[in-house]
Amino acid sequence: MDSLSKTLGSERRAWNYWFEDGIPTMVGGLGCLFGGLSFFFAGGIGLLFVPLYGVIVLRHGAITQWVKMHLTYPRTGYVSPPSPTQDAPAATGNSAALSLDAEPAARREAAASQRERTVRFAILLVLAMFAVLGLFAIANPAMYAVAGVAMAVILGMLNRRDVMLSWFVIGGIPLVGAALAIYAPEVKWPVQRVGYFLVGGGVLIIADGAITLARYLWRNPVASVQAE
Whether residue 22 contacts residue 71, with contact meaning beta carbons closer than 8 Å, is answered with no
Amino acid, res. 70: H
pLDDT tens-place string over residues 86-138: 444 444 444 444 444 556 666 666 666 677 777 777 777 777 777 777 888 88
Residue type present at position 171: G
Left if phi > 0, otherwise alpha if psi is -120 to 50, otherwise beta: which for 18? Answer: alpha
Share of the chain above pLDDT 70, in %: 70
Where are the extended beta strands (E) located within the chain?
Answer: none
pLDDT tops 90 at residue 1: no
224 pLDDT above the threshold of 70: no
Q: What is the overall mean pLDDT for the chain?
A: 77
Measured between alpha carbons, how far is 187 from 196 in angstroms, rounded to an integer?
9
Structural contact between residues 212 and 25, judged by C-beta atoms closer than 8 angstroms = yes
Alpha carbons within 13 A on the beta-carbon side of 143: 20
Q: Which of 29-38, 97-106, 166-175 has the lowest mean pLDDT?
A: 97-106
Higher pLDDT, 201 or 53: 201
C-alpha distance from residue 60 to each of 12, 47, 51, 79 (Å) = 20, 20, 13, 16
Interior/surface letters 188-225, b for 16+ CB within 10 angstroms, e for the rest: eeeebbbbbbbbbbbbbbbbbbeebbeebeeebeeeee
Task: Give the whole-angstrom CA distance, residue 63 versus residue 59.
Answer: 6
In whole angstroms, what is the distance from residue 70 CA to residue 76 CA?
12
Q: Provide the phi-psi class of 159: left if phi over 0, else alpha when psi is between -120 and 50, else beta.
A: beta
